Structures are given as structure tokens and as C-alpha cells.
Amino acid sequence: MLQQTQVKTVIPYFERWLQAFPTIAALATADLQQVLKVWQGLGYYARARNLHRAAQEILQHHQGIFPTELEAVLALPGIGRTTAGGILSAAYNQRVPILDGNVKRVLARVVALETAPNRTIARLWQASTVLLDPDNPRDFNQALMDLGATVCTPKHPACLICPWKEYCRAHTLNMQDELPVSETRPPLPRKSIGVGVIWNAAGEILIDRRRPEGLLGGLWEFPGGKIEPGETVEECIQREIREELGIEIAVGDRLITINHTYSHFHVTLHVHHCHHLSGEPQPIESDEVRWVQVTELEKFPFPKANIHIINALLAGE
Ligand code: SF4
């Protein structure tokens, strides 16, 4: 849960999660839709799907007990080297290094790394391995993460109170404010999406469930797709609905416009009310389609950007 997310944001989700799934077996046997619903709002849904699959693998291959060998831990879905090191050192006091965002920054300063950390990752792993206290790996890794979170902070590191100031090259060279070298990233692309809230004669709305793989996999959404060059929002919605669901609709008034940022792109959702004209909806590019009442929408896991659409509908807009 803590990947890409701050502790204070995670705490209420963590508590809700443990209430819903108090054991590995409880998580492994839960329905994916329930898992995604409990996770809803935390974002990066691949983490929820990976946790679910990892619990299932632990139940199947490790008698329901979390493995203690590095190779077996790394083989679980969603667990990379840092997470594996964090778990094995914290839970079993094993001599396994870590390299999360805070640790990368601390070590890049300690060795005065002349390139962006992600371009010289092998050197930082080596530093984390060499420095690890073989007698106290649990405390050492925890202290290293804490040092990054509280003393060697991204801006204005508090070198004067740092226990490593005598050994730190950045401090010696008075370069602590310039390091680590920042990654030059191109600006995020923006996608414009036309979205239809499709009503039928019975006053129900059409929603579809995304395929399990990929971004937001397994979540429900209001159908739509990318606006092609030269296309109006209305034309896009009509075309997408025909291609994805095999039905004809009339596109009506704008309901809401939503801007949202994912890790690799910005998205603008242009959402319109639509009316079903003909055809039986088919899940051509999704796993399932359903007609539901507005009041039922809250039962389904939706991506964060879609929650604004639901709120607008509940407010009767
Ligand atoms: S001396 Fe300063 S730059 Fe070096 S590790 Fe400590 S806080 Fe970070």
C-alpha cells in the first residue's frame, strides 16, 4: 500500500483492509470485486490485484504461510527487490538490503553520485548491500529509511544533526542541496476521452467492467474512449459506444468535465448524458456490461476519476 503513497493516506485503508481480510486465507478466497472495492480510492489498482494473487499463491504453494526465502518472496506478484528486502529484514531480521525512494536519496548523497539515481541503480544497490549491518539488518534498514524520511529530506537536509555527516561525501563537498541529480523527464502527455452516461427507457445506466489486465483492470467504468484527431466529443462517444458495446445511442447534454493525472499521463474526461436507441449491449472490449440504477452505482468499484461522475449523477445533474 505504501508504494507511491504516503503513510498518513494509507492508515485508514490499511485498517479497513485488515478488517475485511484479517488473514492471508481470507484475502486469497475473497472475490476480486470485493478486493477492488475495499481498495477503492487508493489508486494504482495493480497493487490490489497483486496482493490478491500473492495471497492465492501463498495459500497454494506455501501452505498459507508467507515464505522466508528471498527467491520465493521475489516470485510473488507485485514484490520487487526493495519490497522483498523490506519484508525479510523487518519480519525475519535477514541480511537483505533495501533501496526505496528515501534510501536512494540518502545513498546518492553519501557517495555523491554524479548521475540521476535511477540511471546508476546497480551502484546504489551495491552501496546498500555493503553498508548493511550484518548483525542488525532489521534495525539498520529501518534506520536508513527513517534517516531519509526525517533528516536527509528531499529539501534542506539537516546535516548538522545527521549521524553520517562525517562519512557523507555530499556533506563534505557541501553539495547536499544539489544532490541527487534530478531526472529530466518529458512533460506527461494528455489524453482526451469521451465518456457516455447511457440511459435506457427504464431509467437505468449502462456500466462495463474492464478486463482484468492493465491499468484499472477489473474496475467498473462508464463506457467511452479516446477522441481521435478531427472528431468532436459527441462523434467520439457515438463511435466508441458502437465499437465497444455494439449499440446505437443519441448523445445529449454535457454532464461534467474531469481532469485527472495518472503516473504516466493526464486525462480529461468529457462526460455526456446519452440515450440508448437500439441494440443489445455486448461486452466487445470489456468483461461484462450491466444496466444499473443510479443508487446502485456505489456498490461497484470504480476508478477515482469516475467517482466524480457518480457524485454528479447522485446530485441530480
Ligand atoms: S550528512 Fe546530510 S546529505 Fe549526508 S546523509 Fe546526512 S543529512 Fe544526508
Full DSSP string of 172-186: HTT-TTT-SPPP--P
The b/e string for 68-84 (b: 16+ C-beta within 10 A; e otherwise) is eeeebbeebeebebbbb
The best mutation among 110, 145, 156, 169 to test binding of ligand 1, ranked by most ligand atoms within 8 Å of the C-beta, falls on 110
Of 3.40.470.10, 3.30.420.40, 3.40.50.300, 3.90.79.10, the CATH number of 190-314 is 3.90.79.10
Q: Which of these, 25, 104, 111, lies nearest to 64 by C-alpha position?
A: 25
In degrees and rounded to multiples of 5, residue 76 shows phi and psi of -75, 145
176: CA distance to ligand 1 center in Å?
A: 7
CA distance 283 to 8: 39
DSSP secondary structure of 241-278: HHHHH--EEEEEEEEEEEEEE-SS-EEEEEEEEEEEEE
CATH domain 96-185 topology = Endonuclease Iii, domain 2 (1.10.1670)
Pocket of ligand 1 (CB under 6 A): 106, 109-110, 151-152, 157-159, 162, 164-165, 168, 170-171, 176
CA atoms within 13 A on the CB side of 203: 6
160: CA distance to ligand 1 center in Å?
A: 8
Element (H, E) at 157: none
Of 2.60.34.10, 1.10.340.30, 1.10.3470.10, 2.60.40.1180, the CATH number of 1-79 is 1.10.340.30
Each domain of the chain, given as residue ranges in start order, spans 1-79, 96-185, 190-314
Identify whether the C-beta of residue 45 lies closer than 8 Å to the C-beta of residue 219: yes
Q: Which atom of ligand 1 is nearest to the CA of 105?
A: 8
Three-state secondary structure string covering 226-237: ECCCCCCHHHHH
168: CA distance to ligand 1 center in Å?
A: 6
Which triple of cell numbers denotes residue 173?
563537498
Identify whether the C-beta of residue 175 lies closer than 8 Å to the C-beta of residue 112: yes
Q: Which atom of ligand 1 is nearest to the CA of 163?
A: 6
Length of the chain: 317
Please return the burial class of 155, using the count of CB atoms within 10 Å of its CB with bins 0-12, 13-18 and 19+.
Answer: exposed
Per-residue pLDDT of the chain (317 residues; tens, 9 = 90+): 988 888 899 999 999 999 999 999 999 999 999 999 999 989 889 999 999 999 999 999 999 999 999 999 999 999 999 999 999 999 999 999 999 999 999 999 999 998 999 888 999 999 999 999 999 999 999 999 999 999 999 999 999 999 999 999 999 999 999 999 988 778 889 999 999 999 999 999 999 999 988 788 899 999 999 999 999 999 999 999 999 999 999 999 999 999 999 888 999 999 999 999 999 999 999 999 999 999 999 999 999 889 999 999 998 86
Identify whether the C-beta of residue 289 lies closer than 8 Å to the C-beta of residue 206: yes
What pLDDT does residue 244 have? 95
Give this prediction's pTM.
Answer: 0.76
7: CA distance to ligand 1 center in Å?
A: 23
